[in-house]
């Protein structure tokens, strides 16, 4: 019976709720001057959006995952759904809108610096609603991540999750994370609804903070008791404030050459969620993505010897395969998750797109 319960837990998925859009990405030698005519080095279509990108990374890491967001029929949606399918991301809870257009972003990636400049055509496609979320079978999920967008509807979704968790057995509860990227006043109450809360550098600066530790200490009062607050700060790495009030830090792991930073923050969020979600399993990291040895003091990333059934171990730390009982609230595990997020985000910045982060 215990083995069956463990197997059921491993099959529960991670869902990301938020934006999906079409990214039209042009890689340029240098950023063009205004009113100039220039050629790009390459151009590609890519499925984008914060929650969508995080699903891509979770799938590449080996986590069963699902996306929930809005789409409208058309060529862009055809491309997006085909790419979700290629990645193995479940789209059963996509909210298809009868009218409207899929948002589109024109992205310039500067090959000289790796910077990305985004111009989004916000088509005002309606976001998913609490009514859409009512159709989600919460028992099938172990973690649900929200990209903060439509506060009223997402607040109602979070209320449903809170009711579910109060009634569920501890091992069947759904962990909840919230990402706040844009400094929009109406989104700020969502900070108090997540067990893990990601805040952006832009949001921290909006409040006048000049570093991640300063932002975490200053904004701690906005999160619920026992929650974890995380802030990545580009080349400065990332910091987190755990439930015990202790601040933990990870340095950044920049690539030798900065190639493409588009989606780096989404990559970091997904990798941290993956590490905390997998680390929370009492049976350890079995069948949890790429074979990783987390030997201190450095990570070692190696491709698995087999195409499936790979294991993530941590030697010399707190993760030891099937015998691990890593608690996500433990300070050491939070630091490991933070470092893993920075490591994977650094890998992403050294490549175009996402293929090759593991």
- Helix, coil or strand: residue 16: strand
Residue 56's pLDDT is 98
Residue 50 in contact with residue 266, Cβ under 8 Å? yes
Strands 228-232 vs 247-250: parallel, antiparallel or unpaired? unpaired
**Is-contact 309 289, C-beta < 8 A?**
no
Quick check: is 300 in a domain? no
3-state secondary structure of 299: coil
Nearest to 282 by CA among 174, 176, 171: 171
Name the one residue in this structure whose structure tokens are 């930073």. 261
- Count of structural domains within the chain: 1
What is the C-alpha separation between 287 and 313, in angstroms, rounded? 11
305 within a domain of the structure (yes/no): no
Q: What is the mean pLDDT of residues 329-352?
A: 87
Rounded Cα distance, 40 and 42, in Å:
5
For residue 105, is it within any domain?
yes
Phi, psi of 56 (to 5 degrees): -60, -45
Prior bond of 175 cis (ω within 30°): no
% of the chain residues with pLDDT over 90: 79
What is the spatial distance between Cα 294 and Cα 326, in angstroms, rounded to a whole number? 14
Full residue range of the structural domain in which residue 145 is found:
11-31+41-280+327-349
Establish if 156 belongs to a structural domain: yes
* Averaged pLDDT for residues 7-22: 86
212 inside domain: yes
- pLDDT category of residue 158 using cuts at 50, 70 and 90: very high
CB 146 within 8 A of CB 158: yes
What is the C-alpha separation between 158 and 164, in angstroms, rounded? 10
Torsion angle of alpha carbons 317, 318, 320, 322, nearest 10°? -170
CATH classification at residue 59: 3.40.1190.20
pLDDT of residue 284 exceeding 50, the answer is no
The pLDDT tens digits for 97-141 are: 999 999 999 999 999 888 889 999 989 999 999 999 999 999 999
Instruction: Say if 296 falls within a structural domain.
Output: no
Residues 18-74 pLDDT 10s: 999 999 999 999 999 999 999 999 999 999 999 999 999 999 999 999 999 999 999
Average pLDDT, the chain: 86
pTM confidence score: 0.84
């Amino acid at each position: 019976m215990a083995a069956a319960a463990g197997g059921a837990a491993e099959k529960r998925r991670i869902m990301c709720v938020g934006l999906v859009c079409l990214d039209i990405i042009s890689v340029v030698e240098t950023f063009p001057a205004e009113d100039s005519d220039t050629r790009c080095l390459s151009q590609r279509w890519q499925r984008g959006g914060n929650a969508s990108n995080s699903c891509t990374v979770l799938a590449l890491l080996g986590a069963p995952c699902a996306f929930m967001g809005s789409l409208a029929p058309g060529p862009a949606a055809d491309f997006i759904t085909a790419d979700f399918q290629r990645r193995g991301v479940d789209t059963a809870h996509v909210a298809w809108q009868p009218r409207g257009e899929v948002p589109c972003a024109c992205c310039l990636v500067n090959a000289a610096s790796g910077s990305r400049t985004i111009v989004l055509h916000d088509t005002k496609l309606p976001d998913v609603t609490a009514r859409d979320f009512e159709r989600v079978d919460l028992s099938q999920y172990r973690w649900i991540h929200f990209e903060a967008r439509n506060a009223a509807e997402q607040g109602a979704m979070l209320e449903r999750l809170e009711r579910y968790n109060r009634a569920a057995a501890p091992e069947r509860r759904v962990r909840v994370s919230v990402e706040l990227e844009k400094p929009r006043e109406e989104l700020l109450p969502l900070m108090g609804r997540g067990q893990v809360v990601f805040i952006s550098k832009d949001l921290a600066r909006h409040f006048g903070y000049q570093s991640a530790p300063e932002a975490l200490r200053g904004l701690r009062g906005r999160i619920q008791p026992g929650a974890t607050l995380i802030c990545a700060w580009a080349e400065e790495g990332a910091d987190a404030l755990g439930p015990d009030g202790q601040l933990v830090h990870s340095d950044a792991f920049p690539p030798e050459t900065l190639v493409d930073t588009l989606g780096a923050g989404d990559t970091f969020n997904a990798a941290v969620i993956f590490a905390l979600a997998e680390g929370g399993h009492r049976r350890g990291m079995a069948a949890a993505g790429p074979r990783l040895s987390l030997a201190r003091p450095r990570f070692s990333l190696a491709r698995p010897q087999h195409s499936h059934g790979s294991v993530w171990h941590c030697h010399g730390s707190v993760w030891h395969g099937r015998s691990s009982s890593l608690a996500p609230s433990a300070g050491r595990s939070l630091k490991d998750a933070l470092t893993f997020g920075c490591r994977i985000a650094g890998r992403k910045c050294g490549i175009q797109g996402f293929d090759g982060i593991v």
